[in-house]
Amino acid sequence: MSSQSKTALLISYSDLFSDPRVRLQIEWLASDGWAVDTLGLGRHPSPSVREHFALGPLASWTKSLWGRLITYGVLPRAARFRHLMAERIPREVLDRVGSSEYDLIVFEDYDFLPLLTMSHIFPPTARRGRIHLDLHEYRDPRLPLVSIRRVLGDRYYRWRRSLIGHPTIDSRTTVATRLADMYARDFGFTLPVIVRNIPPFIAQNPRPVEPDRIRLVYHGMASWSRGLRQIVDALPSIDDRFTMTFILTDVPHVVAELTALTAPLEGRVQILPAIPMTEISATINEYDLEVMFFPPTTPNLRFALPNKLFEAIQGRLGLVIGDSPMMAEIVREYGNGVVIEGWSAQDLARTIGDLTVEDVTRFKQASDRAAHDLNAEAEGSIFLAAISAARRTGPL
């Protein structure tokens, strides 16, 4: 098969334009000669995409009180998926799948895996080629049944999760080694290949550190589970050499509460809106230390290896992190930051307060060296090798 004839479909229940992992996969495939179509939320995600199929809205009846009760409390799992997901997919792309027009189909996480069970949408002829699953995070075998909605959704969730091990899937990737270990243990398949969430290489230098103005930054999700509370509580105990900037996604109630909590620290704290994904590493270059302090309240937080860590490295920042093992492994390998012992605000404040200008400068220089190893170009080769490793013969 010539490179000109390779066609791929990426399926994701996300806004692809703002999904950095999916955007990178699009670029990797396109640079390898694939014609790439996408199915997901939002607008056309990239000039490298041949055709984007946007998911339609939910049927109006599913949004009413009775509709929600029927959908979540009465319908069997397959019917629930059909109404919530499958019926929103444009007919044209389903016809292409059913007629074997794609040489590769990439499922981004588990949301659309029930398509593999629907023979009228995904017939056996559509399974002769390459099917790849990219697992963005770990899905617990059982979620705590802490609400009526969680109770009603439990069987549906467990069914979708079980399809991660579907025998039709040829290959799998995920974001970190520990997540790969857990999935292989749960399902008995070969270890997924590790493809980390790393942005492209940027040619830039670390900014010099000002002794009396060391600039801390947190960029990313506005979520209290990501350690924002601990950072805020630590700030009054950190000396005046340090300032703090939060660059946050638009979650108004979190931003409003954070603004109120940091008001007494006016002059040392600022809160800014999120940066476009492609501009993050260049924009944060003006700061000195990225703070990533994720108390390990869930497996995904415990084993987090987020985009923001690698964006900070490309930004040539030093790293201040909690003892999250996947992140700590990188910090210890490259010497580009400090790993905090303990998960309290006091532990965070003490660790930051003990840092010298020389420490921060050394961390930033180490991130500069790490940036040449940890970039999207290197990860792209791994991803392309993973989808090629067990490619079937014949068209999809």
Q: Is 394 part of any domain? A: no
Cβ–Cβ under 8 Å, residues 325 and 301: no
| pLDDT for res 363 | 99
Number of domains, the chain: 2
| pLDDT for res 146 | 64
Q: Is 396 part of any domain? A: no
45 with 109, same domain: the answer is yes
> What's the pLDDT band for 152 if we cut at 50, 70, 90?
confident
327 with 218, same domain: the answer is yes
Q: Is 185 part of any domain? A: yes
Q: Phi, psi (5° rounding) for residue 273?
A: -75, 165
37 with 174, same domain: the answer is yes
Q: Is 204 part of any domain? A: no
3-state per-residue secondary structure call for the chain: CCHHHCEEEEEEEEEHHHCHHHHHHHHHHHHCCCEEEEEEECCCCCCCEEEEEECCCCCHHHHCHHHHHHHHHCCCHHHHHHHHCHHHCCHHHHHHHHCCCCCEEEEECCCCHHHHHCCCCCCHHHHCCEEEEEECCCCCCCCCCCCHHHHHHHHHHHHHHHHHHCCCCCEEEECCHHHHHHHHHHHCCCCCEECCCCCCCCCCCCCCCECCEEEEEEEECCCHHHCHHHHHHHHHHCCCCEEEEEEECCCHHHHHHHHHHHHHHECCEEEEECCCHHHHHHHHHHCCEEEECCCCCCHHHHCCCCHHHHHHHHCCCEEEECCCHHHHHHHHHHCCEEECCCCCHHHHHHHHHCCCHHHHHHHHHHHHHHCCCCCHHHHHHHHHHHHHCCCCCCCC
HSE-CB of 152 using CA atoms within 13 angstroms: 12
Residue 29 is part of which domain span?
3-198+377-388
152 with 249, same domain: the answer is no
**β pairing state of 35-41 and 104-108:** unpaired
141 with 254, same domain: the answer is no
User: What CATH number does the domain containing 108 carry?
Assistant: 3.40.50.2000
Please determine, for residue 153, whether its predicted confidence score (pLDDT) is greater than 80: no
Q: Is 237 part of any domain? A: yes
Cβ–Cβ under 8 Å, residues 302 and 322: no
Computed over every residue of the chain, the mean pLDDT equals: 91
> What's the pLDDT band for 86 if we cut at 50, 70, 90?
very high
351 with 294, same domain: the answer is yes
264 with 333, same domain: the answer is yes
* Residues in contact with 23: Cβ distance below 8 Å, sequence separation at least 6, in sequence order: 16, 17, 45, 46, 277
Mean pLDDT to the nearest integer, 98-107: 92
Q: Is 203 part of any domain? A: no
Q: Phi, psi (5° rounding) for residue 62?
A: -75, -15
Q: Is 205 part of any domain? A: no
125 with 32, same domain: the answer is yes
> What's the pLDDT band for 396 if we cut at 50, 70, 90?
very low
182 with 243, same domain: the answer is no
245 with 128, same domain: the answer is no
78 with 223, same domain: the answer is no
39 with 98, same domain: the answer is yes
**β pairing state of 289-292 and 269-273:** unpaired
Q: What is the pLDDT of residues 205-227, one digit of tens each?
A: 999 999 999 999 999 999 999 99
Cβ–Cβ under 8 Å, residues 259 and 253: no
Q: Is 25 part of any domain? A: yes
More confident residue, 356 or 144: 356
